[in-house]
Amino acid sequence: MLTVGELKPKDNALPRFLLRWDERAKSLDVDINNVSREIKRMFKAGKRGYEGHHTMRVPDAENRIFEVNIKIPGITVFKGEISFGLHRELEVTVNLEASVSGCVEKKWQEGETLKR
């Protein structure tokens, strides 16, 4: 999974949210951090005022855009669209064969004879 971004509160006692690309599902998921396991489960399940683990893809043939709506009980943390690009790196090895042709010149010095 590839981390796309993170929402960090000014108050370190509040939850953090990690946005990550799920390649297998081709989706943007949000994880809640700095909370108990129980709260993580409620956030993932969308229960008891916690929402936002799953995002909705906006239909767009050229861009990767997702509607994100993150909530904790009584608070909307973030509501908006997030777009991002994914660049994959491809490593290529190229083998080149080269041949060189040319001639070698020798300066003719007086008194030398040409040998064949």
Nearest of 3, 73, 5 to residue 35 by alpha carbon: 73
What is d(CA 49, CA 91) in angstroms, rounded to the nearest whole number?
46
- The DSSP result for 36-83, as a single string, is -HHHHHHHHHT-TT-B-SB-EE---SS--EEEEEEEETTEEEEEEEEE
Helix locations, 54-101, DSSP H = none
Question: pTM, whole model, 2 decimals?
Answer: 0.70
Total of domains in the chain: 1
98 domain-assigned: no
112 domain-assigned: no
61 domain-assigned: yes
The 10s digit of each residue's pLDDT in 85-111 is 766 665 666 666 655 555 555 555 666
Residues of the domain holding 47 = 2-83
The 10s digit of each residue's pLDDT in 20-37 is 998 888 899 999 999 999
107 domain-assigned: no
55 domain-assigned: yes
